[in-house]
């Protein structure tokens, strides 16, 4: 704690400077984490957020306007997603909380309605979001994953065969995050219905876009409450609805199912305490920003933005497919692209792109880079492809220096290396990250290459735990950017 306060001007100058190592998302070079709708949208968001910055959505009787906004947001999304009147829900702080709540509600519903004797199981495609694993981790549920077909959608036959006496819920994504394709939700929800199970649709990233894709003429298969077997659905507002961070919705077929989400305790000296979701205090700003966005943009505004996103994604797809050396893992059904290569190490291409200022997630099974396409990328797409071409050339030069046999030997070596050696090599990388105060290096290809060749999951988990420890280690010297300014 500093002894004295800092002057406002000085303080903000300091914070601006601290930001200098952060990802420069405004330049259209970032493909995750930030959903940029442009300057005007950002201004409206800030005004709405500021107006409700101090208000708390925990107790709706103190701030009826927040309750009204939340109910309006939920109702708008329910109608976008196939409600004929009964669908209801609540706002949450994000996709993860929405999914946690749906899993918890399903668990409590199953306790009342199914005869489960052991640990309840959730059956889901391997591509479904880690939030389901988190729910299982927190709520004493077990996740059973189902393999995908060649088209990267869940294999429905395998899912059917995996249903047991312990199964409570089937999951599908619309679309899944890693590959951007929609699971056969019609078949999944029918399967759930036939077996009397809960069906959750994770439309966290697709729930806002897909109804507009349909309006723009794309044949989007039914994925929402128009399907009678769908019990709950998650949809994020802080992604493609452009709301400030901390805004998502979890919807239920009817209020009967939603009751299993709520928490009430009646014997606290502080009074009767009721809370709809995980968090206690609920930021009024996020609710207000979500409400403001839906009303500021309206159908017309979203349709225009979604049109740009759709066109831009199609152009990314065409140009990737036309380029020698890279390909998409599967043809995207929305705005998410997995970029891979048959000829080169895609992680090395990723490193070259990082050096040129592009920010993309690294994926595994298969190794690929992830692109979440936004309207702003329409302006940076040409730069993206000239840098991608340069990156491929650079990686090619490198592999030309290594003969084909050498490359094969290297691959075979990594494959046949005893696990201990690979772990030791990765540990070395982890130590380097530690020494730099938790900063992940720009060149990560060797680390990802080795991480994906470690066979036991437990080893990888231990290594990642070490990285997390060092990222949140307050005894380490402060991050370089902070050190520079202080
Ligand atoms: C983003 C996302 C989530 C998790 O949402 P958070 O807001 O990051 O918690 C879950 N599922 C899918 C498909 C997503 O894209």
How confident is the model at residue 481, as a pLDDT?
45
Exposed, middle or buried by CB within 10 Å (0-12, 13-18, 19+), for 364? exposed
CA of 367 to the centre of ligand 1 (A): 21
pLDDT for position 480: 47
Interatomic CA distance for residues 282 and 338, integer angstroms: 35
Is a pLDDT exceeding 60 seen at residue 478? no
CA-CA distance, 209 to 202, in Å (whole number)? 13
Q: Is 96 in the pocket of ligand 1 (CB under 6 A)?
A: yes
Rounded to an integer, what distance in angstroms lies between the CA atom of residue 386 and that of residue 370?
18
Ligand 1 pocket, residue 351 CB under 6 Å: no
What distance in Å separates the CA atoms of residue 32 and residue 37, rounded to the nearest whole number?
13
pLDDT tens, position by position, 369-384: 999 999 999 999 999 9
- Which tens digit of pLDDT belongs to each residue from 192-202? 999 999 999 99
For range 155-179, the mean pLDDT: 98
Across the range 383-403, mean pLDDT stands at 88
Please tell me the predicted confidence (pLDDT) of residue 483: 45
pLDDT band at 420 (very low <50, low <70, confident <90, very high): low
Region 350-355: mean pLDDT is 94
Question: What's the mean pLDDT in 20-38?
Answer: 85
Q: What is the pLDDT of residue 484?
A: 45
Distance, CA of 35 to CA of 206 (rounded, Å): 13
276 lines ligand 1 (CB under 6 A): no
**179 token code pair:** 């590959």
Helix (H), strand (E), coil (C) string for the chain: CCCCCCCHHHHHHHHHHHHHHCCCHHHCCECCCCCCCCHHHHHHHHHHHHHCCCCECCCCCCCHHHHHHHHHHHHHHHHHCCCCCCCEEEEECCHHHHHHHHHHHHHHHHHHHCCCCCCCEEEEECCCCCHHHHHHHHHCCEEEEECECCCCCECHHHHHHHCCCCEEEEEEECCCCCCCCCCCHHHHHHHHHHHCCEEEEECCCCCCHHHHHHHCCCCCCCCCCCCCCCCEEEEECCCCCCCCCCCEEEEECCHHHHCCCCEEECCCCCCCEEECCCCCCCEHHHHHHHHHHHHHHHHHHHHHHHHHHHHHHHHHHHHHHHCCCCEECCCCCCCEEEEECCCCCHHHHHHHHHHCCCECEEECCCCEEEEECCHHHHCCHHHHHHHHHHHHHHHHHHHHHCCHHHHHHHHHHHHHCCHHHHHHHHHHHHHHHHHCCCCCCCCCHHHHHHHCCCCCHHHHHHHHHHHHHHHCCCCCCCCHHHHHHC
Distance CA 456, CA 460 (A): 7
User: Higher pLDDT residue, 458 or 465?
Assistant: 465
Tokens (6 digits) for 169: 């819920």
Nearest-CA residue for atom 12 of ligand 1 = 204
Q: What is the pLDDT of residue 467?
A: 78
Query: For the chain, what percent of residues have pLDDT higher than 70?
Result: 89
Q: Which atom of ligand 1 is nearest to the CA of 94?
A: 7
Evaluate: CB of 95 within 6 angstroms of ligand 1.
yes
Ligand 1 pocket test: which of 93, 96, 97, 335 has the largest number of ligand atoms within 8 Å of its C-beta? Answer: 96
Atom 3 in ligand 1: which residue has the minimum CA distance?
Answer: 95
* Beta carbon of 37 within 6 Å of any ligand 1 atom: no
For residues 319-345, average pLDDT? 96
Whether 284 has a pLDDT exceeding 70, the answer reads yes
- Of 176, 175, 212, whose CA–CA distance to 306 is shortest? 212
List, for residues 87-146, the tens digit of each pLDDT value.
999 999 999 999 999 999 999 999 999 989 999 999 999 999 999 999 999 999 999 999
Is residue 205 very low, low, confident or very high in pLDDT (cuts 50, 70, 90)?
very high
Phi, psi at 175, each rounded to 5°: -95, 175
pLDDT digits (tens, 9 = 90+) for 225-244: 999 999 999 999 999 999 99
What's the 110 CA to ligand 1 centre distance in angstroms? Answer: 24
Nearest ligand 1 atom to alpha carbon 173? 13
Residue 179: predicted pLDDT: 98
Instruction: Give 438 Cα–ligand 1 centroid separation in angstroms.
Output: 24
User: Mean of the per-residue pLDDT values for the chain?
Assistant: 90
Q: Please state, for a pLDDT cut of 90, what percent of the chain lies above it.
A: 75
């Amino acid at each position: 704690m500093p002894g004295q306060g800092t002057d406002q001007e000085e303080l903000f100058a300091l914070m601006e400077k601290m930001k200098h190592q952060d990802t420069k998302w405004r330049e259209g070079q970032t493909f995750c984490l930030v959903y940029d709708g442009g300057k005007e949208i950002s201004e409206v968001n800030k005004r709405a957020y500021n107006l409700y910055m101090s208000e708390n959505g925990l107790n709706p009787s103190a701030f009826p306007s927040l309750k009204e906004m939340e109910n309006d947001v939920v109702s708008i999304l329910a109608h976008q997603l196939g409600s004929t009147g009964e669908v209801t829900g609540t706002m949450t702080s994000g996709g993860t909380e929405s999914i946690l709540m749906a899993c918890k509600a399903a668990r409590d519903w199953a306790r009342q309605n199914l005869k489960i004797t052991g640990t309840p199981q959730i059956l889901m495609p391997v591509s479904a979001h880690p939030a389901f694993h988190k729910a299982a981790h927190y709520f004493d549920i077990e996740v059973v994953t189902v393999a995908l077909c060649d088209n990267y959608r869940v294999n429905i036959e395998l899912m059917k065969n995996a249903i047991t006496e312990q199964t409570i819920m089937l999951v599908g994504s619309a679309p899944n995050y890693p590959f951007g394709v929609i699971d056969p939700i019609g078949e999944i929800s029918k399967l759930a219905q036939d077996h009397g199970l809960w069906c959750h649709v994770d439309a966290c990233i697709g729930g806002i876009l897909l109804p507009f894709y349909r309006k723009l003429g794309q044949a989007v298969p039914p994925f929402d409450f128009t399907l009678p077997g769908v019990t709950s659905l998650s949809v994020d507002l802080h992604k493609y609805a452009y709301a400030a961070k901390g805004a998502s919705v979890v919807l239920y077929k009817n209020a009967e199912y939603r009751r299993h989400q709520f928490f009430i305790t009646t014997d606290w000296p502080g009074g009767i305490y009721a809370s709809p979701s995980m968090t206690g205090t609920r930021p009024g700003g996020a609710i207000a920003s979500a409400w403001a966005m839906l009303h500021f943009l309206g159908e017309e505004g979203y349709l225009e933005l979604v049109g740009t996103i759709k066109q831009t994604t199609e152009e990314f797809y065409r140009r990737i497919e036309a380029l020698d050396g890279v390909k998409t893992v599967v043809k995207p059904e929305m705005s998410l692209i997995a970029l891979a290569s048959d000829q080169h190490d895609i992680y090395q291409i990723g490193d070259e792109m990082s050096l040129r200022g592009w920010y993309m997630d690294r994926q595994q099974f298969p190794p690929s880079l992830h692109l979440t396409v936004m309207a702003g990328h329409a302006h940076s797409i040409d730069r993206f492809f000239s840098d991608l071409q340069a990156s491929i050339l650079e990686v090619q030069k490198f592999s030309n220096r290594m003969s084909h046999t050498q490359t094969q030997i290297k691959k075979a070596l990594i494959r046949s290396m005893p696990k201990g050696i690979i772990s030791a090599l990765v540990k070395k990388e982890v130590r380097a990250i530690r020494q730099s105060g938790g900063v992940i290096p720009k060149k990560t290809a060797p680390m990802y290459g080795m991480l994906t060749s470690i066979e036991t999951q437990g080893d990888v988990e231990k290594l990642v735990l070490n990285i997390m420890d060092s990222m949140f280690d307050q005894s380490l010297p402060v991050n370089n950017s902070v050190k520079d300014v202080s």
